[in-house]
Chain A
Amino acid sequence: MVQKGYRKYVSLLAFVAPAFILYALFLLIPTINGLYYSLTNWNGLNPSYQFVGLDNFIELFTEDPYFLDSIWFTLKYVVCMVIFQNVIALLIAVLIESRTKSKGLFRTLFFMPNMLSLIISAFMWTFIFTQVFPQLAERTVLTFLGQAWIGDPKFSFLAILIVSLWNGVGYMMIIYLAGLQGVPQHLKEAAVIDGANIYQQFWHVTLPMITHAITICLFLTLNGAFKVYEVVYGLTGGGPGRSTQVITMNIFEEAFSNNYRYGYASAKSVILFLIVLVFTVIQLRLTKRKEIES
């Protein structure tokens, strides 16, 4: 029986509605509101506020060095995270996949840090960096562990990176593992018969076959790295001074401490949204093109 045109849409809408209403209430409408507030000078408290047009946006690019610094710092973090998180995750996945025994054990071990919330990992590592490492440096030959990991601006970036990687690699590893298991055996065998060595196999057979996994992982790491907050908050609090302040932290500071410039902070969030949007669109375009099916 052929359904009438509109009835098809009614049932479709009925199925989508519960999710869509929640999505609209808690995400879509606040987002649009945020866009509107970014054009005002509301302070989060006063009942009255003015519409200031693009003033907020002009100010944050011309008069706010802290915001620009935080963008640079975040970009640095994003680049490092996207590269290292994926390389390490893929490496671990390949190593685990190459084992014949105890795959499950290693998979669980590497995935475990991901089960902890980031903020708890950050607090745990704060203890390791400030208490365990100095003790280790004192009692063993590992003196390089003794310097101030969190208090020294030169090393705090490294500390943040270590904790983020420790926590995040496991999840990407699972995705890569799934991808690796999907690589058809016959292609590998064919390559072996053609005389390909193990590296050639990896580069020319395995890697092209898991590009869809790479797409997902790149997307997730890129997105997550831009929105980083908890790790930095838990480890350094953006300090010392503002040397490890990320965009999200700068926005939070503007809206909820400082001068409570809610409108101005909304403008900053809009910028963050645009940055993430542009980067992910470019990334998806590029990697999608490379995906192939067997």
Chain B
Amino acid sequence: MKKIASLMTSLTLVAALLAGCGSGGNGGNGASSPNSTDSNVGSGGKSVTLKVFIAQPRFKEQYDKLAADFTAMMKETQNTDVTVQLELPNSDNAAQILKTRLASNDAPDVFSLHAINELPTFYKAGYLEDLSDQPFVDVLLEDVKKSVTTTDGKVVGVPLETMSWGYLYNKDLFEQYKLEVPTTVAELREVAEQLKANGETPFLLSYKEAWIPQLVLPLAVGALMKTGNEDFVDRMNKDEGSFQEMKEMFTVFDLISEYGTDRALEVGGDDGAAKFAAGEAAMWLQGPWYAETILKSNPDMSFGVAPLPINDDPNATLINLSASTTLAVSQASKQKDVAKAFLNFVMSEEYSSGLFESLMFNPTATVHTYESYPWVDDATVYVKEGKAYQDPSIPQAVKDEVGKGLQSYFAGQMTQDEVLDALDKAWKSFNKVNQ
């Protein structure tokens, strides 16, 4: 049976290759049929295979345990034998694998997507199941729920990983020189001056990888949208806005560059983490996703997360709250009930807290009651005071463009206006492609 199944799989793949993947709807279902169709087994219960696809191989242990616990729970409560087939591809090529599987009608029942970057596109292409009526929706934190809700108001995923971020700062250095976390650009300059006067480098620059300078854009856009320019993204989506409105982001970018370390364009993210951990600079424009790397090179490092000032309005100094890895159910799944049960299990009151703690993720739902890390708590303070905004949904193409644009700007090859024009153009072509 297994041989036949694998033969069918390869044949389907070949057929998909020949058919050019794109014709849709006609690909064979051979791959999933033999095991996954419901069939009665001796014990009287049902036997089901659930295919789960999560692009986080680093958490294999935790997800294996989750799968085993889910199987046990289903056996106990519903007398169903569930075999969870876990697939944990590397995040670099996960998107490619998933797209190929979807296009060849071999979709996993549950798969992970990036809430901001991928969820809307996949929903529009019709691959996602509407989950609005599921019990887990009620326990999600309000701010987090927004990031898995589509423009037409449907909840389509369970947010696993969320980030609250601004920039990282070295708490020891701040304490040593009795510095306060700045709330305006003027104060930020003040802090930088004092650090410099004491012989420290204020900012760590790591601009070799374009996504790091890019970070300033979501921070600036999010803050400015929250303090006045609310419909910026909507207008950009209708070709009516312009990034000239966001020109303020250069103020803080220039400030950081002015007080930054040398050779910025030759330092990547990992080098940056090592340098920051070694105390080479007091602040780093980066999110807490580098926490693990930093602590690995310096376990005693004490650092915090603070909101980046964008202008001289303290109300615009806000934390960026964004969801990334999100679990969704495939529209084409034959086990939607089991898949939904799986998602509800992930968010269930009795199980969720332990799972999220073992994954070291931030709390995303009211059922999460575990202790979190100091830098998470730092950010949570701001979030609870309402000093946070939902990560603006800027198209990936625009984010790529701003990273490259700011690199060129930093190298002196582009002016501010040229960067902003390039961004406008990138968003326009995004609109054109995704009408």
State the Cβ distance, A270 to closest chain B Cβ, in Å: 16
B433-A261 in contact (CB<8A) = yes
Alpha-carbon distance A44/B265, docked complex (angstroms): 32
- B419 (CB) vs chain A CBs: closest residue: A241
Given contacts A45-B102, A151-B208, A241-B413, contact A25 B121 (CB under 8 A): no
A151→B265 CA distance, assembly (Å)? 5
Query: A256–B99 Cα gap in the complex (Å)?
Result: 11
Counting chain B CB atoms within 10 Å of each CB, the highest count among A41, A150, A239, A240 belongs to A240
Alpha-carbon gap, A46 to B208, bound state (A):
33
Q: Which 7 A-B pairs have the closest CB atoms?
A: A241-B408, A151-B265, A47-B24, A240-B407, A258-B397, A240-B411, A151-B266
Q: List chain B residues, Cβ under 8 A from A253.
A: 400
Interface membership of A229, Cβ < 8 A: no
Instruction: Tell me if A62 counts as interface (CB < 8 A to partner B).
Output: no
Closest residue of chain A to B405, judged by CB?
A: A241
Contacting residues of chain B (382-435) with chain A, CB-CB under 8 angstroms: 395-397, 400, 404-405, 407-411, 413-414, 426, 429-430, 433-434
A interface, CB within 8 angstroms of B: 25, 29-30, 33, 36-37, 40-49, 129-130, 134, 148-153, 237-243, 253, 256-261
In the assembled complex, the Cα of A18 lies from the Cα of B397 at a distance in Å of 43
B96 touches A (CB below 8 Å): yes
Docked Cα-Cα span, A33 to B16, in Å, equals: 12
| Given A148-B265, A243-B413, also A43-B433 (CB < 8 A) | yes
Q: Indicate if the CB atoms of B396 and A256 lie closer than 8 Å.
A: no
Q: Which of A25, A47, A129, A150 has the most CB of B within 10 A?
A: A47
B14, B18, B99, B122 — most chain A CB neighbours (10 Å): B99
Which residues from chain B contact A152 at a C-beta distance below 8 Å?
A: 265, 411
Q: Are B265 and A240 in contact (CB under 8 A)?
A: yes
Task: Please determine whether B22 and A257 come into contact, CB atoms closer than 8 angstroms.
Answer: no
| From A25, A43, A45, A151, contact of B411 by CB (8 A) | A151
Give the docked Cα–Cα distance between A40 and B410 (Å): 37
Question: B414, A239: Cβ atoms under 8 Å?
Answer: no
Q: Does B264 contact A (CB under 8 A)?
A: yes
Find chain A residues with CB under 8 A from B95 CB: 256
In whole angstroms, how far apart are the Cα atoms of A40 and B22 in the complex? Answer: 11
Residue ID in chain A nearest B401 by CB atoms: A258
State in angstroms the CA–CA spacing of A134 and B266 once bound together. Answer: 12
Which residues of the other chain, A, contact B25 by a CB distance below 8 angstroms?
47
Of the listed residues A36, A129, A237, the one surrounded by the most CB atoms of chain B closer than 10 A to its CB is A237
User: What are 8 sample pairs from A and B whose C-beta atoms fall under 8 A apart?
Assistant: A130-B267, A153-B413, A237-B209, A240-B413, A241-B408, A242-B408, A243-B413, A259-B434
Decide if A241 touches B266 in the complex (CB within 8 Å).
no
Confirm or deny: B210 has a beta carbon within 8 angstroms of a beta carbon on chain A.
yes
Q: Contact string, B83-108, partner A, CB cutoff 8 A, digits 1/0?
A: 00000000000011001001100000
Known A-B contacts A29-B18, A47-B22, A47-B24; A240 and B207 likewise in contact (beta carbons under 8 Å)? yes
A259:B430 contact, CB within 8 angstroms = yes
In the complex the two chains form, what is the Cα distance from A42 to B433 in whole Å? Answer: 10
Contacts of A239 on B, CB cut-off 8 Å? Answer: 208, 210, 265, 404, 407
| A257→B396 contact, CB < 8 A | yes
Within 8 A of A (CB), among B243-267: 263-267
B395-A259 in contact (CB<8A): yes
A237 touches B395 (CB 8 A): no
Given pairs A240-B410, A241-B408, 10 additional interface contacts (CB within 8 A): A25-B14, A44-B99, A45-B122, A46-B125, A47-B22, A47-B24, A148-B266, A238-B404, A240-B413, A259-B433
What residues of chain A lie closer than 8 Å to B20, measured between beta carbons? 33, 36-37
B141 at the interface (CB under 8 A from A): no
Q: Are A47 and B18 in contact (CB under 8 A)?
A: no
